[in-house]
Amino acid sequence: MDFIFMLTRQDQTVVDCLAVMDAIRPAGLTHVGFKDVGVDLDTLKALHRAIKDSGATSYMEVVSTSPEAALNSARVARDLGVDRLMGGTDVAGVLGVLKGSRTEYYPFPGRPVGHPTKLGGQPDEVQAQSRRFLEAGCAGVDLLAYRATEADPLELTRAARRGLGGKGRLICAGSVDSPARIRALADAGAEAFTIGSAAFDGSFSPRKGLLVHQLADILAAAAPATAATRRAAG
C-alpha cells in the first residue's frame, strides 16, 4: 500500500509545514499531502514546491464545507499543479474546474459532514457512488473509512472496492493509526492510506519520540500490506 503522509493535525495543515518538510526528507517519502486550511496561499505554494522538489507525488485534501469554498479549493489545487486532489462531493463542479489540468480527482463517497469530518452512509450507497464517480471521470475515491458513523469501516471499504472494480484507485483517509488498521484496509481492497495526526502526536508508535521514526514505522507497516495486496491481485 502507498502511505500518504499528510502534513496535518486535526484536519488542518500544520503552520510549520515547511520546517517539517525539511526535517522528514531523510525518510524518503514518495507520497506527501496537505489540506486546504490552516496556512495561507503563499505557504501552500512553497510547500507544494518542496514536495515536488523531494520527488514525491503531491496530494491536497479538500475540507471546505461550503460548495463555493470547495470549488475554490479545487482551483487552488489546479493552479498549484497538485498531482491528486482528494475530498469534496461536488464531482461535476470539481471535474469542471480541473478540466485540462493534470490533477486527478478522488472525491468522498458516502455522506461526509462537519469538521473534523465524519462519514455517514451505508455500503450500498458507497458502492453506487464509487461506480458513478469513476464513470464521471474520477481516478478513484477518498474514503473516510474509520470516520464512519453508520456502518462498519471495512464493509464500506469493500463496498468502495466493488464500486471501483479494478479500474479506480481506493484511498482511505482519517484515523488510520495502527499496523492492524493498515493491514485490514489492504485486505479490504484499499491501495493507499493517509496518516497525519497519528504520526505527529506519536500515537502510531507511542514509545518513539521523533517524527522520522514514526514515519519509518508506518512505512514498515505498509510494506507487508503492499505485498499481501499484490499476492491477492496476482
What CA–CA distance (Å, rounded) separates 87 from 107?
A: 4
CA distance 33 to 84: 9
Average pLDDT of the residues in 150-172: 96
Residue extents of the structural domains in the chain: 2-233
How many Cβ atoms sit within 10 Å of the Cβ of residue 102?
Answer: 10
Say which CATH topology domain 2-233 has: TIM Barrel (3.20.20)
Query: Read out DSSP for 192-210?
Result: EEEESHHHHTS-SSTT---
Give the confidence band of 162 by pLDDT, cuts at 50, 70, 90: very high
Given this model, what pLDDT does residue 113 score? Answer: 85
**Residue range 89-98: mean pLDDT, rounded:** 95
Between helices 179-187 and 153-164, what is the axis angle to 10°?
Answer: 40
Nearest to 94, CA basis, from 81, 105, 110: 105
Q: What is the pLDDT of residues 99-114, one digit of tens each?
A: 999 999 999 999 988 7
Q: Return d(Cα 5, Cα 2) in angstroms, integer.
A: 10
Look at residue 225 and tell me whether its pLDDT is greater than 80: no
Under DSSP, is residue 47 helix (H, G, I), strand (E, B) or coil? helix
Task: Tell me what pLDDT residue 212 has.
Answer: 94
Q: How far does CA 207 lie from the centroid of its chain?
A: 26
170, 193 in Cβ contact below 8 A?
A: no
Average pLDDT over residues 156-182: 95
Three-state SS at 139 = coil
Residue 98 in this model has a pLDDT that exceeds 80: yes
Is pLDDT of 3 > 50?
A: yes
Average pLDDT of the segment spanning 3-10: 95
Q: What is the CA radius of gyration of the chain?
A: 16
CA distance 123 to 203: 29
Percentage of the chain with pLDDT > 70?
Answer: 95
